Structure 1
Amino acid sequence: MTTLRDAAMNSKAWPFEEARRVLKRYEKKAPEKGHVLFETGYGPSGLPHIGTFGEVQRTTMIRRAFEIISDIPTRLLCFSDDMDGMRKVPDNVPDGDMLREHLQRPLTAVPDPFGEYPSFGDHNNAMLRRFLDTFGFDYEFASATEYYKAGKFDHMLMMCCERYDAIMEIMLASLREERQQTYSCFLPIHPRRGGFSMCR
């Protein structure tokens, strides 16, 4: 292992270079939670594809490189942004007319056009997990919808409310003038229609 670790510490391959950057954060002290969390995000607005695979694969490559150069345990979280609003109807799914009626609604509030799961978001999440399991990825899955409903984001949302002006100052500086007019760091769901506000 020492020879492999020595080689990894000197490797010019990008996963090892990224892993060394992560390790540098813990030179003085191991993470308080007892592990390093690697995370990859996924927007289930359409069926999983090779780009989705690439996101998880790249993160896994860095994680594996980190495990060679460090004894700190790791976890990989594959996070689904399934609370995002459906902005357009994918071309490769059935019943597009039905889906068009649900534009701007959270993906987990849009009916599944395949009729297999409670929602379109749930269908795509299941396909993603099947996809990743087929290739033997070691990961934990998380759903934004479940996190929001369980209150896991409440503390950070309150902090964003308290620091709204500072956040907006940073964000607006990064946007074009037209986008600045409608941007908000909050996107509430309409209590009756169930969809997001169009001003995002």
Structure 2
Amino acid sequence: MVTAILLDCGVLLLVERGGPRSLSRPIIGRGTWLDRVAHRLIEREKRLGRSLDLLLTESGIAASGIPHIGNLSDPARAYGVTLAIRGLGYNSEMILFADDMDGLRSVPQGLPKELEEYLLKPVSRIPDPYGCHTSYADHMVSMMTEPLDRIGIEYKLYNAHEVYGSGRLAGIAAEILSNSERVGEAIKTLVGQEKFTEQLPYYPVCDSCSRIYTAKAVEYDREKRRVRYVCSDIEIKKRLHRGCG
């Protein structure tokens, strides 16, 4: 037999009796995994002594290619957690971060081949091939945000090129670069990628050719907060791209 007990804190407790041992399991919110994630997030913020006035969730969206149905899953999950946080009585918003400083690695199928001349350049600096948006990136981002708007997902949109250009992340970037060896080892441990144990975890944009992945960051001056890089050859998707030196 299962007995439901409503605790003073608003948590529904289910107690199973009659078996070899009693089993109790708290039901948080509506009892979904989203509610459990929201509860853990709130409890973590309490332990850290941080403000609970506004709890943010975040979803990244790519701006380098045409969105597909799978691209919806990340913002849908993040917004689900936001709704669960609100359901537990706290204010929450979702940030949608458009990665429009990514380089164009290849021309997506169906888009004009003329885009070849912009390969490896940040997509926020590439013209919109259809001429209806300010850039290639804005066009792709709009193809993602319009469906989100139609299904009622609420978000605050941030574009990478604007955030980086404002200097808002300069302090964080400096901290990462100052601890580049630890960061490189952490990335290697977490995802098995060794690249950043050999170069700095930073993608400069080459001043000469305006490409991003050919520019390899090799040295960081902490006092001046400047990165030295070399624009060298790189192979991406079985295609060799020449650096400019």
TM-score by length of 1: 0.85
User: Aligned runs of 1:189-200 on 2, under 5 Å?
Assistant: 189-198=205-214
| Structure with bigger RCO (C-alpha 8 Å, 6+ apart) | 1
Q: 1:39 aligns with which of 55, 58, 66?
A: 58
For residue 134 of structure 1, what is the aligned residue in structure 2?
Answer: 150
Structure 1 gaps of 5+ residues are none
CA distance in 2, matches of 1:91, 1:182: 34
CA distance in 1, matches of 2:91, 2:196: 42
Q: 1:62 aligns with which of 81, 85, 91?
A: 81
For residue 75 of structure 1, what is the aligned residue in structure 2?
Answer: 93
- SS at the partner of 2:100? coil
Contact 1:30 1:72 in 2 (8 A): no
- Specify the code of the residue in structure 2 equivalent to 1:89: V
CA distance in 1, matches of 2:108, 2:74: 20
User: Aligned runs of 1:5-20 on 2, under 5 Å?
Assistant: 6-7=11-12, 9=28, 12-20=31-39
Contact 1:11 1:17 in 2 (8 A): no
CA distance in 2, matches of 1:135, 1:176: 37
- Specify the code of the residue in structure 2 equivalent to 1:35: L
Q: 1:121 aligns with which of 112, 129, 137?
A: 137
Higher helix share: 1
Change (3 A) 1:67 1:129: same
Cα RMSD, aligned residues only = 2.6
- SS at the partner of 2:203? coil
Contact 1:19 1:62 in 2 (8 A): yes
CA distance in 2, matches of 1:60, 1:150: 26
Q: CA deviation at 1:166?
A: 1.9
Change (3 A) 1:41 1:162: same
Higher Cα Rg, which structure: 2
User: Aligned runs of 1:48-197 on 2, under 5 Å?
Assistant: 48-69=67-88, 71-92=89-110, 94-95=111-112, 97-173=113-189, 174-175=191-192, 179=195, 183-197=199-213
Structure 2 gaps of 5+ residues are 1-6, 13-26, 217-233, 235-245
Q: CA deviation at 1:171?
A: 2.5
Change (3 A) 1:176 1:76: closer
Once the two structures are aligned, what percentage of the paired residues are identical? 24
CA distance in 1, matches of 2:156, 2:63: 16
CA distance in 1, matches of 2:95, 2:176: 23
Q: CA deviation at 1:30?
A: 6.4
- Specify the code of the residue in structure 1 equivalent to 2:122: P
- Specify the code of the residue in structure 2 equivalent to 1:63: T
CA distance in 2, matches of 1:119, 1:146: 13
105-114 or 125-134: bigger deviation: 125-134
